[in-house]
Amino acid sequence: MKKIFLLLLMIFMVSGCGGESQNKTPAEPEKKSVEQTPAPTDKKILVVYFSRTGEEYNVGNITKGNTAIVAEYIAQKTGADTFEIKAAKPYPDEYEACTELAKKELESNTRPAIEKNIDNLAQYDTIFLGYPIWWGAVPRVLLTFLEANDFSGKTIIPFCTHGGSGLAGTEREIADACPNAKVLDGLAVVGKTAQNDFPAVQKDVDAWLKGLDY
Ligand SMILES: Cc1cc2nc3c(=O)[nH]c(=O)nc-3n(C[C@H](O)[C@H](O)[C@H](O)COP(=O)(O)O)c2cc1C
């Protein structure tokens, strides 16, 4: 079909019947259609996160975790798939009890079991990784997930929610757990803001993603 089209086009040009349009190169229409097609990409994005519901610092009893809210918005904006890390044994709903357990886990550097691991990580190049700050660190269950998978050659973009301490150097912890991954600077969102002020979350995430060229 293309050959016939080119042949007809050549006859058309040689015969000089093109009038004004003979100045146009035959390649023009093809070029236009190429430009209109978005660049093909096989790079897939994943948002992985751990988040807790129940009684939480400064927000009362929540049915959707602060980090989950941010995670879902990042996924919506980037068209990413999501994977939620869940502890095999759920953390207590009561805030105080949860902080005590988390403190013990941190002190003993435990790796709590996860409910299930992801089975298709290989197909993703970029992973947004979300978590709450627990005792100035990432929850140990996040490390269980990171150490159970191979992040070689992947880009990890951390984001956290917190009660005031910000990222607290957690990018370093992630880089240590995934030595062959590239770990970018993260985003920190105050938990109460995530829970109660969604427009502020949108504004912060939009600006951050823009800075990352998303
Ligand atoms: C066990 C535990 C420890 C926490 N430690 C800190 C902390 O060290 N610094 C901080 O700013 N917030 C801390 N917080 C508050 C959480 O980081 C914050 O509320 C976060 O948004 C909770 O996210 P989530 O709802 O996704 O689990 C802690 C909360 C819990 C439950």
Global pTM reads 0.84
Cα 147 to ligand 1 centroid, rounded to whole Å: 22
Q: What is the mean pLDDT of the segment spanning 189-208? A: 98
CA 194 to ligand 1: nearest atom: 21
102, 146, 172, 210 from 177: Cα distances, Å: 19, 6, 9, 27
- Ligand 1 pocket, residues with Cβ under 6 angstroms: 51-52, 56-57, 65-68, 95, 98-99, 102, 132-136, 161-165, 191
Cβ pair 155, 126 in contact under 8 A: yes
Better-predicted residue by pLDDT, 97 or 42: 97
Mean pLDDT of 167-186: 98
Q: Among the atoms of ligand 1, which is closest to the Cα of residue 62?
A: 25
User: Which of ligand 1's atoms lies nearest the C-alpha of 131?
Assistant: 26
Helix (H, G, I), strand (E, B) or coil at 1: coil
pLDDT in tens, 118-175: 999 999 999 999 999 999 999 999 999 999 999 999 999 999 999 999 999 999 999 9
**Alpha carbon of 161 to ligand 1 centroid (Å):** 7
3-state helix, strand, coil in the chain (%, to 5): 45, 20, 35
Distance of CA 208 to the CA centre of its chain: 12
Cα–Cα distance measured from residue 19 to residue 69, given in angstroms and rounded to the nearest whole number: 61
Q: Is 38 exposed, middle or buried (0-12, 13-18, 19+ CB in 10 A)?
A: exposed
Domains assigned to the chain: 44-211 (3.40.50.360)
Ligand 1 atom 7: residue of nearest CA: 135
Mean pLDDT for the stretch of residues 184-207 = 98
CA distance 92 to 63: 14
- Per residue in 67-115, pLDDT (tens digit) is 999 999 999 999 999 999 999 999 999 999 999 999 999 999 999 999 9
